[in-house]
Amino acid sequence: MDTTQLDGFVESKKVIPNTPSETTIVFLSNQAQTPESPDGGYGWLIVAASFVINIFIVGLPASYGVFEVAFTTQEDFKGTSSLAIAFIGSLATVGMPLFAIMSGRLSDIYGPRVISCIGAVIVCLSLIIASFSVAIWHLYITQGFLFGLGTSLSYIPILGVLPDWFQKRRGLAMGIAVSGGGIGGLAIAPILQKVISTMGWRWALRIIGIASGAGLFTSGLFLKMRVPSKRSTNIDFSYFKDSKFVRLFLMALVISLGWFVPLFYIPGFAVQYGMSKNIAALLVGLTNGASGIGRVTLGYLADTTGPVNVLIFCNVVATLLIFLLWPFATTLPLLLVFVILFGFVLGGFASLVPTVVSFLFGSKGNLATVTGMIFTGYISNLFGSPIAGVIIDHFTTYTNGIKNINFTPAIMYTGACFFVATSLLISIRYSMRKRTVLE
């Protein structure tokens, strides 16, 4: 019978049905060399360790909006623009993709345990040192750049480890693991707001720095590969010859321009419409809590419906919510509906992107490096929130000394980013549908 060679792959292969709507590519040469994934056992310890790592690595940046309000309203950085303050959070989030390839490569060479624990130490020190900042650029270096480096070293290794232990339950396992980010955001944001209100933002950074360092280091000790990775120091850039890989990379690049805008600016949006800072912090927490539920639910759904299909669903719903609900959510009930629904589908991105990478490109080994290459697309986080900050500053007016912000243009910018990302994902799905591979 005929065979069709897929872009970027030359191994012998056959196709077996996975779901009615998607197809799993089984690489025979890879199967012959690799024992079957146990779908459990020690893998559940990997899931538990990854869950804790996500609590801090994802939950902390997702709660940055609480610090943004503190930096904007307190005297320490009085007169600093929204753009300048947003740049701190952007540097923190961009560290993950900026160092993703390096972190993945180091994890594949030296092992995930060593690299993740080094990242834990850097995260801890970055936040503690940040608490002594007296100028905004000090926070750029510490809470921004160094924190981002630490998160990448601590987090990227789990993206290569966890899929190695699961096959049939991979989506569920990844969903449980990354749900820690949602739970962390739900708990961390209100706690940080309470500490900031009573002890100040400096002590909030010190306390969360010590807590995150202890949790990340302990969890990193449990990480190990089921099958040793290839130890080649070369990075295989031939993946960029695969059109699906390029489109997935571009999806990450575009969606990152808008991904953190709601998380960073929902607190300010709430305060603008008369809600208290405590309510604003609670909204961030609810967004992250809903994200945690979404990560598990949508990860489980991906095992039965296909990860690409579910990721498209998340993109479509997020785009509609941003365009049709957020601009009109100027009362607490409507804003609650928005943050819960948006948080739920946002959770799908965290659990499904690594699963999609493994689904499409995970047969050639060195999965941490390959996932790191996709995550490099998230480097546009560096520009996303600052761009929104520029838009917000431009549409900010003062009436009798009262600050009035028109958030609608920034919301439209965010929705446009999600719309383009959705289009790229649909094109990937369409190319998969057109593909015909016969045994």
pLDDT tens digit sequence for 354-386: 778 877 776 555 666 677 777 777 777 778 888
Is the pLDDT at 33 greater than 70? The verdict is no
Q: Look at domain 20-434 and name its CATH class.
A: mainly alpha
pLDDT value, residue 85: 84
pLDDT at 351 over 80: no
For 237, other C-beta atoms within 10 Å of its C-beta total: 9
pLDDT of residue 11: 35
What are 276-298's pLDDT values in tens digits? 888 987 888 788 778 878 888 88
φ and ψ of 404, to 5 deg: -125, 125
Residue 155, judged by CB atoms within 10 A of its CB (0-12, 13-18, 19+), counts as buried
Q: Percent of the chain having pLDDT more than 90? A: 32
Residue 22 clears pLDDT 60, i.e. is over it? no
Is residue 295 within 8 A of residue 178, CB to CB? The reply is: yes
Give mean pLDDT, residues 27-40. 50
pLDDT at 30: 38
Contact (Cβ atoms closer than 8 angstroms) between residue 342 and residue 321? yes
Distance spanning both ends of the chain, measured CA to CA: 6
Q: pLDDT band for 20, please (50, 70, 90 cuts).
A: very low
208, 314 contact by CB (below 8 A): no
Two structure tokens written together for 102: 């390096």
- Judged against a pLDDT cut of 80, whether residue 8 lies above it is answered with no
**Domain-wise residue ranges, the chain:** 20-434
Q: How far is CA 129 from the centre of its chain?
A: 25
**Banded model confidence at residue 310, pLDDT cuts 50, 70, 90:** very high
pLDDT at 414 over 80: yes
Identify the band that residue 221 occupies on the pLDDT scale cut at 50, 70 and 90: very high
Cβ-in-10-Å burial (0-12, 13-18, 19+) of 80 comes to: middle
Q: Which of 93, 30, 27, 43 is nearest to 65 (CA)?
A: 93
**Confidence check: pLDDT of 73 > 50:** yes
* Lowest mean pLDDT, pick from 117-121, 143-147, 213-217, 347-351: 347-351
pLDDT value at residue 4? 36
Higher-pLDDT residue of 93, 3: 93
How large a percentage of the chain has pLDDT more than 70?
85
Report the chain's mean pLDDT, rounded to a whole number: 81
Residue 26 pLDDT > 50: no
Distance of alpha carbon 318 from alpha carbon 342, whole angstroms: 6
3 state DSSP class of 145: helix
Whether 233 shows a pLDDT value over 60: the answer reads: no
State how far the Cα of 159 lies from the Cα of 339, in Å rounded to an integer.
Answer: 27
- pLDDT of 18 reads 41
Mean pLDDT, rounded, for 231-240: 66
Q: What tens digit of pLDDT does each residue of 95-114 get? A: 887 888 888 888 888 889 99
How far apart are the C-alpha atoms of 230 and 109, rounded to whole Å? 7
Token code pair at residue 137: 């650029």
Alpha carbon distance 84, 136 (integer Å): 8
pLDDT, position 295: 84
Look at residue 309 and tell me whether its pLDDT is greater than 50: yes
Predicted pLDDT at 366 = 62
| C-alpha–C-alpha distance, residues 301 and 299, integer Å | 5
Residue with tokens 């900042």: 133
Q: Give the DSSP letter string of 82-125.
A: HHHHHHHHHHHHHHHHHTHHHHHHHHHHH-HHHHHHHHHHHHHH
Lowest mean pLDDT segment, chosen from 57-66, 77-86, 137-146, 282-291: 77-86
* pLDDT tops 90 at residue 93: no
Q: Which helix (H) or strand (E) holds 211?
A: helix 201-220
Residue bearing tokens 């056959």: 14
Residue 434 pLDDT > 80: no
**DSSP H helices in 35-99:** 42-57, 59-62, 64-73, 82-98
pLDDT at position 1 = 41
> What pLDDT does residue 9 have?
36
Give the residue among 321, 281, 87 at the shortest CA–CA distance from 195. 281
Give the residue from 61, 58, 21 showing the smallest Cα distance to 312: 21
Residue 297 and residue 275: Cα distance in Å, rounded? 31
- What is the Cα–Cα distance from 54 to 183, expressed in whole angstroms? 9
**In 3D, which of 150, 58, 110 has the Cα closest to residue 368?**
110
